[in-house]
Amino acid sequence: MFENGLAFRDKTLVNYCPSCKVVLSNEDSQGGKCDICHSDIVQKSKDVWYLRITEYADKLLEGLKEVDYLPNVKLQQENWIGKSTGAFVNFAVKNTDETLRIYTTRPDTLFGVTFMVMAPEHPMLDKYKDMISNFDAVENYRSECAKKTEFERTQLVKDKTGVKLDGFVGINPVNGKEIPIFISDYVMMGYGTGAIMAVPAHDQRDYDFAKEFGIDIIEVIKGGDISVEAYTGDGEMVNSDYLNGYTDKKSSISRVLEELEKKGIGERGVQYKMKDWAFNRQRYWGEPIPIVHCEKCGMVAVPYEELPLKLPKVENFEPGQDGESPLAKIDDFVNCTCPKCGGKAKRETDTMPQWAGSSWYFLRYIDPHNDNELANMEKLKYWMPVDWYNGGMEHVTRHLIYSRFWHKFLYDIGAVPCEEPYAKRTAQGLILGPDGVKMSKSRGNVIDPNEVVDVYGADVLRTYVLFMGDYEQAAPWSESSVKGCKRFVDRIWNLQEIVTDGDEFSKELSSSFHKTIKKVTEDIEALKYNTAIAALMTLLNAIYAKGSINKAELKALLLLVNPFAPHVTEEINELVFASSDMLATTEWPSFDEAKCVDDEIEIVVQLNGKVRAKLNVPADVEQADAIAMAKADEKIAAEISGKTIVKELYVKGRLVNIVVK
């Protein structure tokens, strides 16, 4: 990736804990506190390695058309990438030769721009600090921003804070009007251009900010009451010069883009919400980044013949000072020779994140003993793409998108034969605590599976986890439902007491068994484990209602239950059948489609739309016969006696409705 221009270094703000001396993710520093020591975190400027995943944004979006992913998985990927079309527009800064470049998806609202907002870290502020008469206020505000995480700064629901830049004024390019420029924490240098235009009449955050600071609010789209709130819908353009009267958003955007490009003050553009992938960590554990830093040659890749670069053996894993990796303290590792000029150089001491290995480890399974290449191409062609990848939804916008990017790069350099790593992607839901909330030690709602096994056994735990709800949805833990699954497993065990000889399904249970085999087989393939187990419970009720089960039926039942409760079923198999062959290696039972159809079905009989009786009728009964049987029913016959029948209706397989007066 380094050789192909996809790996680079840049300065950015990171969450840093001065006490733990480590850089933290947003998730590990919520509320501005370190999750480990609870110290206040600060925003620290640091050199960070990036992978240029944004170069693959369009390929990642296009690839979603070729894969079998759940709709919500695809949607999360699309939202994470966040492709938008709009315009880059240049706002001049009064009394300078500079322009503030912004990106907007609504260039048609340019006539409604009444102020601009810059990120507090914007480099133009320091360049022109002599022009800004209240620069002390700017620096004080920057210090406050440094204490906030990226999440805190960008959340929508919060108080609007900022500082107006006195003496630093913007000029609206479409009408030449002077507009104030502010700094505010909700604008980040890592997002877009580090500056935004604000249209308070038609954006609620801009509206709230304008109200807070007494800034003009100019309506440019008719449709709402801007004295109350921003209007964010569509409508007729007003107060917009050559756009006045336009009612179609697409046409008005196209028209303003023509003007911007004609005057050289803007152009069409595309942006992505996804940022380049920050790819380094300041810890010992992780793949060393194989780059050396040479004063003469700059950054140089470690030669291929010296790879893999391995971690040095160390005894002290403590982080370094000022956000450095522990490796920075090991002179023997750090000091090296530049592969290019032979001069003195220093190794990169940051390591890769865990996502590095997890993005492509599965490819090595294909050919693990190959010393000459990642994997043999013919083997890759045979095995790839991965048929089915199942995982949690929390990895949909990180691991999955990272791994797809990594794989597409490998495809582009000819290392793998397919563009997408995974043909199918599914996801399982979370098991919530008994209170319906995600399990957490701090909430005290964590269920220890080992304790459940100690009380109920592993089979009950397995069965309940798969029975508790839709596999893809979150479901709360329920002690009473665990006990219900315990009763189910106990009833399976107790079948030994009512087993009889027999080498084929009995007449009474034949249809039930064929239907259950079909149902469980199809449901397991569709990840509908809860309904498969429900079908087995129904079959078990039918068996106990009959009072016996023969050996052919027991064998089939044990095979169906085995994926859910393997220990109990294997034990019964050994005890009843004295078999040394495990159920896990026995052929799965088959079903006869013809025997899955009921000979008889139950229908309801309605009089004037109200249910009055239930009937068992042949499954293929004709309309006339169904109505005749309904009218012959003792209860129905009594109720229609002496009354005029107005209408008779048979809904196949469901009901007979007789209308009388």
**pLDDT tens string 388-399:** 999 888 788 888
* Residue range 166-216, pLDDT digits in tens: 999 999 999 999 999 999 998 988 778 899 999 999 999 999 999 999 999
> How far, in Å, CA of 133 to CA of 122, rounded?
17
DSSP conformation class of 243:
G
Handedness of CA 240, 241, 245, 249 (dihedral sign): negative
Ordered structural domains, the chain, with CATH: 55-82+353-428 (no CATH), 84-272 (3.90.740.10), 449-594 (1.10.730.10), 599-660 (3.10.20.590)
Handedness of CA 264, 266, 268, 269 (dihedral sign): positive
Read off the pLDDT band of 460 (50, 70, 90).
very high
Residues 368-379: b if buried by 16+ CB within 10 A, e if exposed: eeeeeeebeeee
Q: Which residue has tokens 């502010």? A: 182
Read off the pLDDT band of 565 (50, 70, 90).
very high
Q: What's the burial of 163, exposed, middle or buried (CB within 10 Å: 0-12/13-18/19+)? A: buried
Q: What is the mean pLDDT of the chain?
A: 92
Read off the pLDDT band of 157 (50, 70, 90).
low
> How far, in Å, CA of 416 to CA of 404, rounded?
12
| Contact yes or no for 30/37 (Cβ under 8 A) | no
Cα–Cα nearest to 21, from 279, 282, 288: 282
SS3 129: coil
| Contact yes or no for 171/88 (Cβ under 8 A) | no
Angle at 332 between CA 328 and CA 337, to 5 degrees: 100
Read off the pLDDT band of 281 (50, 70, 90).
confident
Q: Which residue has tokens 């007066």? A: 661
Report the DSSP beta bridge partners of residue 413: none
Q: What is the mean pLDDT of residues 626-645?
A: 88
Lowest mean pLDDT segment, chosen from 24-33, 533-542, 551-560: 24-33
SS3 473: coil
Strands (E), 297-446: 298-301, 335-337, 344-347, 389-392, 424-428, 431-432
**Tell me, what's the pLDDT at 41?**
82
> How far, in Å, CA of 77 to CA of 140, rounded?
39
> How far, in Å, CA of 303 to CA of 309, rounded?
10
**Tell me, what's the pLDDT at 397?**
81
Measured torsion, CA atoms of residues 205, 209, 215, 216, in degrees rounded to the nearest 10: 20
Would you tell me how many other CB atoms lie within 10 Å of the CB of residue 501?
A: 7
Lowest mean pLDDT segment, chosen from 272-276, 318-322, 395-399, 411-415: 318-322
Read off the pLDDT band of 94 (50, 70, 90).
very high
Indicate whether 320 pLDDT > 80. Answer: no
Indicate whether 651 pLDDT > 60. Answer: yes
Angle at 161 between CA 156 and CA 162, to 5 degrees: 125
Residues 8-22: b if buried by 16+ CB within 10 A, e if exposed: ebeebbbbbbeebbb
Indicate whether 13 pLDDT > 80. Answer: no
Output 420 or 33, whichever has higher pLDDT.
420
* Residue range 349-381, pLDDT digits in tens: 999 988 899 999 999 999 999 999 999 999 999
> How far, in Å, CA of 172 to CA of 266, rounded?
12
Helix (DSSP H) and strand (DSSP E) numbers for the chain? 21, 26
Angle at 27 between CA 24 and CA 32, to 5 degrees: 70
Indicate whether 52 pLDDT > 80. Answer: yes
Q: What is the mean pLDDT of residues 55-80?
A: 94
- The residue type of 226 is I
Read off the pLDDT band of 27 (50, 70, 90).
low
Indicate whether 6 pLDDT > 90. Answer: yes
Indicate whether 420 pLDDT > 60. Answer: yes
**Tell me, what's the pLDDT at 429?**
87
Indicate whether 109 pLDDT > 70. Answer: yes
Q: What is the mean pLDDT of residues 321-337?
A: 89
Indicate yes or no: pTM above 0.85: no
**Tell me, what's the pLDDT at 25?**
66
Measured torsion, CA atoms of residues 291, 293, 296, 301, in degrees rounded to the nearest 10: 0
Indicate whether 36 pLDDT > 90. Answer: no
Read off the pLDDT band of 446 (50, 70, 90).
very high
> How far, in Å, CA of 7 to CA of 348, rounded?
13
